[in-house]
Structure 1
Amino acid sequence: MRTPINELADGMTLAQAFQAADKQLRVNRQGGKYILLKLSDRTGTIAAMMWNADEATFDRFDRGDYIYCQGRTQVHNGALQIIVTQLERMDAHEVDANDFDRFDSGQADQHVARLQELLATLTQPFLQRLAAAYLEDNDFMDQFRLAAAAVSNHHAYPGGLLHHTVNMMELVRLISPRYSELDTDLLMMGAFLHDLGKIDELKASGEISYTDRGQLLGHIVIGIQLLGEKIQQVERDSGESFPTNLRYHLEHLVVSHHGTQEYGSPKIPVTLEAVALHHIDNLDAKLASYTSIIGRDVAADGNWTNYNPSIGRKLWKG
């Protein structure tokens, strides 16, 4: 019986299947070769190393393959990793697919139902029609259910984008009534639209990675293109022109939601709704990311995580 990644601990001896999420053949300072791996299962990912490797071993399997690994776990720089001593490629029929499928269809169904309820609260007629154009697009919704919100930072799993989007829309419901200056319909639609370009930016099947289109354009540009297509559809179906000013405000919400140009936004937020959307997005992403850091931490100090250089701090986990 295999031990899930989220249950691994320091000093364990392993002989079990993983999925090869990534692999790199590297050379150390002494000229020796080693394989750097990222192994995954349905509970998460873990780094692994195989020392004294060669091209033949590296070529024995591809990214996405199942591999049988023998080795041991150890803590390095505060993170758990696996030192692999032996590995072999496995055929798909040799593993239980349930050990590796990270998509929770039941949870996705619940999130889709809640998404429909939240979009049903819109009162502006053109926003109602725009929401319907997305919801009634079966191909789009199938992709949306499966999409991840990121490769590694937050909600980085199949269905993560839908989860993140619904979380943000729930926050809009809580926050918007406190500030009468905000246009609740506009902010709700912005929360729905802001990351939809990730459906085409990231690969939904196999290990999460960037598509060619995602690498070349990014999710903000893709999201604006998708929005333009849906607005054209609304205009065709209704026989009316979509309000130009409303379109500009929706586009601004998408292009400014990262908050600063340093973090990839072509424009910084200049409307109240855009400012609110950026902070709602950042709140949900940060809490998800930090919760994940706490969950993966293997520090000996029970109250604090190891220092994490990516966020510049330890986190309280007591």
Structure 2
Amino acid sequence: MDQSNNGAGASQLSKPRKPINQLADAMSIDQVFVLGDKQQRTNRQGSQYLLLKLTDRTGTIVAMLWNADNDTYDQLERGGYVQCAGRTQIHQGALQIILSSIAVADPPTVNPADFDRFDADAADEAETTLIEILTGLTNPPLKQLASCYLNDESFMKRFRRATAAVSNHHAYPGGLLRHTVDLMEICQFMGPRYQRVNTDLLTFGAFLHDLGKIEEILCEGELTYSDRGQFVGHIVIGIQMLGEKIAQYETETEQAFPAELRLHLEHLIVSHHGQREYGSPCLPATMEAIALHHIDNLDAKVTSFDSLIESSMGNQDHWTPYLPSISRKLWKKPDVPNA
């Protein structure tokens, strides 16, 4: 690539880009994104077009390129930087970009900090809370088992960056830790209010419930499922990880881990989706499992709806557009009137 192109790229790098979460309807766009996904499709008239998923550190947006040829599709790499020009519009309640052009971005035009969705400060804060909760458990076997996870540097490093999902709730690097800690804090608040709920067991179940996603989902670059995730899934992986840590516990303590406690922990993992059709091999059968399922679902739903509101904040109305995925509009004005 010649020096004149590099000079132009360096000049463009100094030009601020508009983050995805600040885009609004009818806005002209000419800037770099990460290509999260690409699909080549054919419309009813037989013309090819590209359906794309563009990302930056603030979110994801769908983009369309009409009358696209095979060469354009082949040149674009998932997870790569792309220079996009076009205009935003609202379609079926969601903001998207209609592209006039797309090309592989010139490296000097890219500021990697615009696209790294991992927030190290937020992860530090969440990890501190995680450690405080787990080291504060009163059940000795659970407290010792927790130390097997906390003292595993490789595990903790991956846990900090893991995502809770490919889409929907907490779908970003660091999202799994945030989701896990939020659940554990809710468990600490809610557990003591119900006589039949063991708060330590419930809290530890919240810690364990989605740990298999560390192996299930790849979060470097495009969020996508690993081969192990596709073949096995995070529930089975989580059970396997628990077995490995219990074996470590027994080696370090030279004592058998309580068999009944192990069954309760395994049940919390396998039942947390709540229904067989949602992926749980078993229905929740203990008070802790019932509570965990509903707490997990609450956090996922509220966070998902919050993301829908966030994605439509460019619209100045107090309501989002109609959202077909949830069959309603959502109130999004942040302030609440005084009584």
What band does the TM-score fall into relative to the shorter chain? over 0.9
- Whether the aligned pair in 1 keeps the contact of 2:25 and 2:314 (CA below 8 Å) is no
1: CA distance, partners of 2:191 / 2:240: 28
1: CA distance, partners of 2:98 / 2:185: 43
- SS for the counterpart of 1:253 is helix
Q: Which of 5, 21, 37 is 1:22 aligned to? A: 37
| Alpha-carbon offset, residue 75 of structure 1 | 1.2
| Alpha-carbon offset, residue 111 of structure 1 | 0.6
- SS for the counterpart of 1:192 is helix
Q: How many residues align?
A: 318
Show CA shifts across 1:104-148 (max 9, x none): 001101111110001012111110111000001111000000000
- Whether the aligned pair in 2 keeps the contact of 1:78 and 1:299 (CA below 8 Å) is no
- SS for the counterpart of 1:17 is strand
1: CA distance, partners of 2:217 / 2:315: 36
| Inter-CA distance 275–92: structure 2 relative to 1 (3 Å threshold) | farther
| Inter-CA distance 231–79: structure 2 relative to 1 (3 Å threshold) | same
Does the alignment pair 1:177 with 2:192?
yes
* Partner of residue 101, structure 2: 86
Between 84-93 and 53-62, report the one with greater CA deviation: 84-93
Gaps of 5+ in 1: none
Read off the aligned partner of 1:166 and give its amino acid letter: V
Matches within 5 A, 1:139-150: 139-150=154-165
Show CA shifts across 1:218-266 (max 9, x none): 1000000000000011011111111110000000000000111111111
Read off the aligned partner of 2:248 and give its amino acid letter: Q
* Partner of residue 121, structure 2: 106
Read off the aligned partner of 2:296 and give its amino acid letter: D
Between 85-94 and 143-152, report the one with greater CA deviation: 85-94
Q: Which of 213, 231, 234 is 1:198 aligned to? A: 213
| Inter-CA distance 112–300: structure 2 relative to 1 (3 Å threshold) | closer
- Whether the aligned pair in 2 keeps the contact of 1:20 and 1:62 (CA below 8 Å) is yes
- Whether the aligned pair in 2 keeps the contact of 1:299 and 1:305 (CA below 8 Å) is no
| Alpha-carbon offset, residue 48 of structure 1 | 0.2
Show CA shifts across 1:175-226 (max 9, x none): 0111121111100100100000000000020111111110111100000000
* Partner of residue 296, structure 1: 311
Identity %: 58
Q: Which of 27, 32, 50 is 2:47 aligned to? A: 32
Q: Which of 134, 150, 154 is 1:119 aligned to? A: 134
Does the alignment pair 1:154 with 2:169?
yes
- Whether the aligned pair in 2 keeps the contact of 1:67 and 1:87 (CA below 8 Å) is yes
* Partner of residue 10, structure 2: none
- SS for the counterpart of 2:247 is helix
| 4+ aligned runs moved over 4 Å, structure 1 | 298-301
Q: Which of 8, 20, 26 is 1:5 aligned to? A: 20
| Alpha-carbon offset, residue 85 of structure 1 | 0.9
Q: Which of 248, 251, 255 is 2:266 aligned to? A: 251
1: CA distance, partners of 2:313 / 2:74: 32
- Whether the aligned pair in 1 keeps the contact of 2:29 and 2:84 (CA below 8 Å) is yes
- SS for the counterpart of 2:285 is coil
2: CA distance, partners of 1:47 / 1:11: 15
- Whether the aligned pair in 2 keeps the contact of 1:305 and 1:315 (CA below 8 Å) is yes
- SS for the counterpart of 1:59 is helix
* Partner of residue 273, structure 1: 288
Between 178-187 and 88-97, report the one with greater CA deviation: 88-97
- Whether the aligned pair in 1 keeps the contact of 2:93 and 2:324 (CA below 8 Å) is no
1: CA distance, partners of 2:231 / 2:186: 32
| Inter-CA distance 299–158: structure 2 relative to 1 (3 Å threshold) | closer
- Whether the aligned pair in 2 keeps the contact of 1:305 and 1:314 (CA below 8 Å) is yes
* Partner of residue 236, structure 2: 221
Between 79-88 and 302-311, report the one with greater CA deviation: 302-311
Read off the aligned partner of 2:50 and give its amino acid letter: I
Q: State TM-score, norm by structure 2.
A: 0.91
* Partner of residue 74, structure 2: 59
Does the alignment pair 1:167 with 2:182?
yes
Read off the aligned partner of 2:75 and give its amino acid letter: R
| Alpha-carbon offset, residue 293 of structure 1 | 0.7
| Alpha-carbon offset, residue 76 of structure 1 | 1.1
2: CA distance, partners of 1:300 / 1:110: 32
1: CA distance, partners of 2:108 / 2:286: 54
* Partner of residue 306, structure 1: 321
* Partner of residue 137, structure 1: 152
Q: Relative CO higher for 1 or 2, CA cutoff 8 Å, sep ≥ 6? A: 2
